[in-house]
Structure 1
Amino acid sequence: MSKYLFEANYVGEGIKGLMREGGTSRREALVAALKTVGGSVECFYYAFGETDVLGVIEVPEPSDAAALSLMINSTGAVRVRLKPLLTVEDLDAAARKTPAYRAPGQ
Structure 2
Amino acid sequence: MPKFLIQASYTTEGTKGLLKEGGSGRRAAVDQIVTDLGGTVEAMYFAFGEDDVVLIVDFPDAVSMAAVSLTVKASGALHTRATPLLTLDQVDEAARRKVAFRDPGA
TM-score by length of 2: 0.96
Identify the residue that residue 10 of structure 2 maps to in structure 1: 10
| Structure 2 gap ranges (5+) | none
Aligned partners of 1:104, 1:29: CA distance in 2, in Å? 47
| Structure 1 gap ranges (5+) | none
Per-residue CA shift, 1:10-52, capped at 9, x if unaligned? 0021010001110111111011001121011000001111110
Q: Percent identity?
A: 44
Q: Which one-letter code corresponds to 1:65 in the other structure?
A: M
Q: Superposition pairs for residues 1-106 of structure 1, below 5 Å? A: 1-106=1-106
Aligned partners of 2:4, 2:19: CA distance in 1, in Å? 26
Q: Which one-letter code corresponds to 2:45 in the other structure?
A: Y
Q: Which one-letter code corresponds to 1:99 in the other structure?
A: V
RMSD: 0.8
Shift of 1:103: 2.5
Aligned partners of 1:31, 1:100: CA distance in 2, in Å? 42
Aligned partners of 1:99, 1:74: CA distance in 2, in Å? 38
Aligned partners of 2:105, 2:24: CA distance in 1, in Å? 53
Per-residue CA shift, 1:56-97, capped at 9, x if unaligned? 000000111111111111100011111011000000000000
Shift >3 Å, 4+ stretches? none
Q: Greater helix percent: which structure?
A: 2
Q: Which one-letter code corresponds to 1:73 in the other structure?
A: K
Count, aligned residues: 106
Aligned partners of 1:30, 1:101: CA distance in 2, in Å? 41
